[in-house]
Structure 1
Amino acid sequence: MSDVDISKSNSYLSFNLGEEEFAAHVGKVLNILEMIKITEVPMAPAYMKGVINLRGAVLPVIDTRVKFGMSATVYTPNTCIVVLDIDMDGDSVHVGALVDSVQAVLEIPSEGILPPPSIGSRYKSEFIEGVANIDDRFVMLLNMDMVFSSMELSAMKETTEETARTVNVEQVSE
């Protein structure tokens, strides 16, 4: 399937953060990893857990729960890292997002996507693409390109590049 076909699909990877279910478009998901040791990075933003070695590259890992204003992730056997491809002003930035558990790939027809809530949402509505009602439960569809500001992505990218320069990649996540 080409990039154009993927972006036009209505497939979403659903995952849990606490009791809430979210989903990201499959076109943004590169990989799902089991939990591995995350190397902490000094002076990183609070939501950045650290970095891991992903096939010889240093990948920043964020605690999605902290980024969304929730309590920090408590690791369980279901906790995993979803590797995402985020667009930052035309550049591709790869980020690992800690999630409590991955649920399923959902096919959601366009007519099944409701507009994002405008009042009373705990989450910044600019990164909520819509809400889907699936089997009597609401799933918030995230626009992953909008979850982080350009400044946040730049800070993560700089922190990751600095870590890659100062630490041998093999030392990360050993």
Structure 2
Amino acid sequence: MQEIQYLTFLLSNELFGLGILYIKEIIEFESVTHVPMMPEYIPGVINLRGNVVPVIDLNTRFYKKKTETNRKTCIIITEIKLEKETIDVGLLVDAVNEVVDIPENQIEEAPSFGSKIRLDFIQGIGKLENQFVIILKMNQILDLSEIQTIQETSSQVN
């Protein structure tokens, strides 16, 4: 039985997890540069060592409300695979918790009720000792047409 490591983070007082294989780094939130004509849940882009990285506000994406930024607010830099290339995308979250090991047999299918976020975003529900972790499907959070739009826009910014 395989244990998979997940980075856990908070959004609107709920605990989420993302497989660490998707994660490149975690940075402190400073500010984002607004880009016009983007979906509401993409507040803008950041400059990460000379690369333009789009940022997704997961609170807006899941709960239709903006992240209230404070000193714990972070951007998780993730890698998303498109057809032939890989692009970096930042995920704006309330706070990053820790990396946890969740054995496969402790992950259940997402229930079809009771969740405040779209089920197609959820890979499963992981059970830790005293709490549940909503495990996200990275490639579902953005859809491909939105990624193409972001790429086209950011290539015009360069």
| TM interval, short-chain normalised | over 0.9
Q: What pairs up with 1:9-88 in 2 under 5 angstroms?
A: 10-88=4-82
Question: Which residues of structure 1 form unaligned runs of 5+?
Answer: 1-7, 165-174
2:141 counterpart of 1:147: yes
Residue 156 of structure 2 corresponds to which residue in structure 1? 162
Secondary structure at the counterpart of residue 33 of structure 2: coil
Mapped contact 1:49–1:63 kept (Cα < 8 A):
yes
8 Å Cα contact 1:33-1:80 kept in structure 2: yes
Q: What is the total number of aligned residue pairs between the two structures?
A: 157
The Cα shift of 1:136 comes to 2.2
TM (norm. structure 2) is 0.92
Find the residue that maps to 1:46 and give its secondary structure: coil
Tell me the amino acid that sits aligned with residue 47 of structure 2: N
1:37 is displaced (CA, Å) by: 2.2
Report the more deviating stretch, 137-146 or 121-130.
Answer: 121-130
Moved >4 Å (runs of 4+): none
Query: Given residue 119 of structure 1, which amino acid in structure 2 is its aligned partner?
Result: F
- 1:90: how far off? 4.2
Report % sequence identity: 36
Distance 1:66 1:159 in 2: 21
Structure 1 residue 122 corresponds to structure 2 residue 87: no
2:3–2:103 contact (8 Å) kept in structure 1: no
| TM-score normalized with structure 1 length | 0.84
Report the AA paired with residue 56 of structure 1. G
Contact between 2:3 and 2:104, CA under 8 Å: does it hold in 1?
A: no
